[in-house]
Amino acid sequence: MELLNSSPPSLPKPTGNTHLCSGPSNFRRRSCHNEVPALPQLPEIAEEAGFKVHVAVGKKKTDKAVSLIQWVCRNFGNSEICILHVHQPSPLIPTLLGRLPACQANPEVVSAFRNEEREVMRKLVNSYLSICCRLKVKASIITLEADQIKKGIVDMVNEHKIRKLVIGAIPDCRKEKRSSRKASYAEQNAPSFCEIIFVNKGKLVFTRQATGFNSNSAVAQSPVCLPLPDSNSAFEEESLSEQLRESELESESSRNEVIAEIFKCNRLEAEAAETMKTKTWEGAPVRESALRKEVELSHRTMIKEQDKDLKEKEEMTRKLHMTMRSIAILDTHAQETNCRYKDIAGELRLIQTSIATLQKEKQKVQKQKDEARWRCCGKVWGVGSRDLVQFSISDLQIATCHFSESFKIGVGGYGAVYKGELLDRTVAIKKLNPYYMQSQSDFLQHVQILGKLNHPHLVTLLGLCTEDWYLVYEYMPGRNLRDHLLHKSSITWKNRLHIVAQIAKGLLFLHTSNPEKIVHGNLKPENILLDSYNSCKICDFGISKLFPNQTLHCPSFRRQSVSKGAFSYTDPEFHISGSLTTKSDIYSFGLIILQMLTGRSPEGLSREVRKAISCRNLEPILDSSAGDWSAFVARRLAGLGLSCCELNSRDRPELTPSLVQELDQLHTLEERVVPSFFLCPIFQELMYDPRVAADGFTYEGEAIRGWLESGRDTSPMTNLTLSHLDLTPNPSLRLAIQCWISNSH
C-alpha cells in the first residue's frame, strides 16, 4: 500500500534574494555542472488535527465508488472524510405523453420528479456515509446541484477551499483524457491550492500536487524552502534554461509521436474499411445464392401449405354437405316423430278419458250393486227410486260395540257420529239428539226426501233406524277440510280450486232439488270431507230441517251445535230473521272460499281481503302452502268470495250452472285472450257483474262501487263529473261473458 504525503505548496517569496525549491532530480542535474553546498533536508509534513479529506462520488453506487470510499478511509482514517456529490437534474421529465423537456412539462410534475431525484440522491450519499460509519471514520456530506458535474466539482473546490480532493480515474488518466472527462477537467481547472489524488480500483494512479496556497492557509502547513547562496544564481538560471529546452524537446518529440500515431490510425482505419468493402463484394454472390435458396424453400413450403389447406377445405366441405344431409334426414325424422307423438298424445288422452269414464261407470255399477245387496240383505224402508235400508237398534249396537267411545268419530249439537260395520261395509252412524227433534212422522218424511238425494259430491244416506233417531251414511276415510287447512297440508291451489267447484256443484244440486229446495244450514269446513284423491263430499245437509225453528234459536242448542269458530260461518241475517235460505249457504260458501284462498281464520277475513283488493296487494295474504297462485285465479276467487259474503243477502249472487261451470274451468280461462270489452276499465279483469255508470261506460260492480264510495263523483274514464251515482246492470254483456266462459273449451 502506498503512503501518501501532502505535497507542500510553495511559500511566498522572501525579501532579498529568494529561490524556488527544486526536486531531487534538479539537484542531481546541478551537481553535474558545479558543486553546490548541500541543502538541509526538508522535514515531512504530517496532517494537522481536524484536516478534511474530500472525496467525489458519482450518482450510482458501483463497486468502483465503494472501493474509492474504502481506500480513502484506509489511507486517511485519522482525518475527517467529507463526501462530495454533484447532483445533475435530468433535462427530460417522464409524463403520460412521453419524456418531455423540463421547460415544456407541467410545473407540478417537474417538482414531483425533482423531489424523487433528490430522495434518490439522499439515499445514495447516506449509503456512502454508512460505509464510513462501519469503518469507524468520521464523515460528512456536501451536495450541490449543477447542470455539469465537472464544473460543479470545481465550483465546490472554490467555494469550500478544498485542499485535498480524491477522485476516481482510469489507470492512466493523463493520457486517456476522453475516457475520464471529469478527472481531466478537475485536473486542468481546479485551483492550484487543491491537491487532487486520482485513484482507480483501490490503487493510486496519479497525484496532482498543489502549487499555490490559500490566503487563509497556515504557514506551518507548508514546507520551508531554504534560499541558496547568491553565488549560485547564474548556475541555477542556466540549469533552469537547460531544463526548459529539454522539456520543449520532449514536448516536440511527444507531439510528433502523437501525430505519427494519428496518421497510423487513420491509415489502418482506411485499410480496414477497404478490406471490409472487398469482403462485402466478395461475399455478395454467396449471400445472394443463399437468399435465393431460402426464398425458393419458402415458396415450396407455402405451396405445400396451400395444397394442404385446399385439401382440408375440400374435406370440410364434403363433411359439411354430409352433415347437412344428415340434419335434413334428422329433421324429417323429428317431424315424423312429433306427428307420431301428437297422435299418441291424442290417443293417450282418449284412453285416459275412456279410463275415467269406465272408472265412473264402474263406481256407478259398484254402487248399484252395493245398494242392491243392501236391499237384498236388509229390510227396505220406504218407497221410491232409492229406498233406504232399515236397521234395528240392536244391529246398530252390534256395529258400534254398544256405541263405544272408541268408535266415536265426531260430536255436535245435532248429535254424535260413530264408525261401524254393517253388512260387510264400513258406515258412519249418526245418533241424533231426540230432545230437540220433531215428531216421528215429520222426521221420517224428511228422511225419505234426503234418501232420494244422490250426487257425487254429497255423502250418501244409506239407511235409518225407525226405533230411534239414527241415520246411516257412507263412510269417508279421509280428513275434513278444516283439518287440512289447520295443519297446512300440501293441497295445491289447483286442487283447492277443484274443491271449490265441487262444493259449488253439491250446493247447486241441493238448491235446485225438487219438490223443494234443500238448504244445508250448517255449511262449514268440518262438514266437507275429502278422500285420498282430494275429491270432496258435503255431509250433514238437510239436518236442520229435522229440527223445529224454535229449537235452532234455543241457546242451549246453539251452544252445543256451534263449535269454536263455527259461529263465523252463520249468515248474519239468520240471527235477525231466524230463517235459513239458500243465500245463507251462499254466505258460508263465500267464507270457505276466502279461507281456502288465504288459509286464515274466518273472523274478520272478508274485511281483510277487501282491504287487500282495494290496495291491489292481494298476493301477501295468499296461502303460500298452496304454491304459487295464479294471479288471475286468485283475484277471481277473492272477488267471488267477497260478493258471497255481502251482509245484505240481496247483494249475494245466485248459485247458477254458469257460475259453477266457470269455477270448474277457471284455471283454463287465463290461457285464453279475453276480449277487451269484457274487461273492467278499473281492474282490467274479466267482469262478472257488469254495471253501467252515468258516463256510459261499463265497469265491474265491485270496482265502480269502491270508486264512488271513496268520495269520488267523477268518471274513471273521462274525469268529468257524473250526472248521478246510480248504477244500472248490463244483462246483455253479462250473458255474453257467460257464453264466452261456457265456450272456453
Annotated binding site for ATP, which residues?
A: 431
Ranges of H-type helices in 400-548: 440-451, 481-486, 493-511
Taking the alpha carbons of 183, 187, 189, 192 in that order, is the dihedral positive or negative? positive
Alpha carbon distance 672, 296 (integer Å): 76
* Bridge partners, 306 (sequence order): none
The 8 Å CB, 24+ separation contacts for 516-521 are 516/449, 517/582, 518/449, 518/450, 518/453, 518/542, 518/545, 519/544, 519/545, 519/580, 519/581, 519/582, 519/584, 519/585, 520/544, 520/585, 520/588, 521/545, 521/580, 521/584, 521/585
DSSP string, 293-304: HHHHHHHHHHHH
User: What are the angstrom distances between the C-alpha of 559 and each of 188, 556, 587, 602?
Assistant: 131, 5, 21, 19
- In the chain, DSSP finds a helix count (H) and a strand count (E) of 20, 20
Taking Cα atoms as reference points, which of 640, 620, 639, 642 lies closest to residue 629? Answer: 620
Taking the alpha carbons of 671, 676, 680, 684 in that order, is the dihedral positive or negative? positive
Taking Cα atoms as reference points, which of 586, 601, 593 lies closest to residue 520? Answer: 586
Categorise residue 616: left if φ over 0, alpha if ψ from -120 to 50, beta otherwise: left
| Cell matching residue 702 | 265491485
**Three-state SS for 143?**
strand
Ranges of H-type helices in 48-147: 63-75, 107-134
Alpha carbon distance 726, 597 (integer Å): 32
Report strand pairing: 690-692 vs 698-700: antiparallel
Alpha carbon distance 283, 290 (integer Å): 11
Annotated binding site: 431
Taking Cα atoms as reference points, which of 374, 385, 364, 536 lies closest to residue 463? Answer: 374
3-state SS string for 519-530: CCCCCCHHHEEE
Residue 572 carries which side chain, given as an amino acid letter? P
Ranges of H-type helices in 135-227: 149-160, 181-189
| Cell matching residue 143 | 451536495
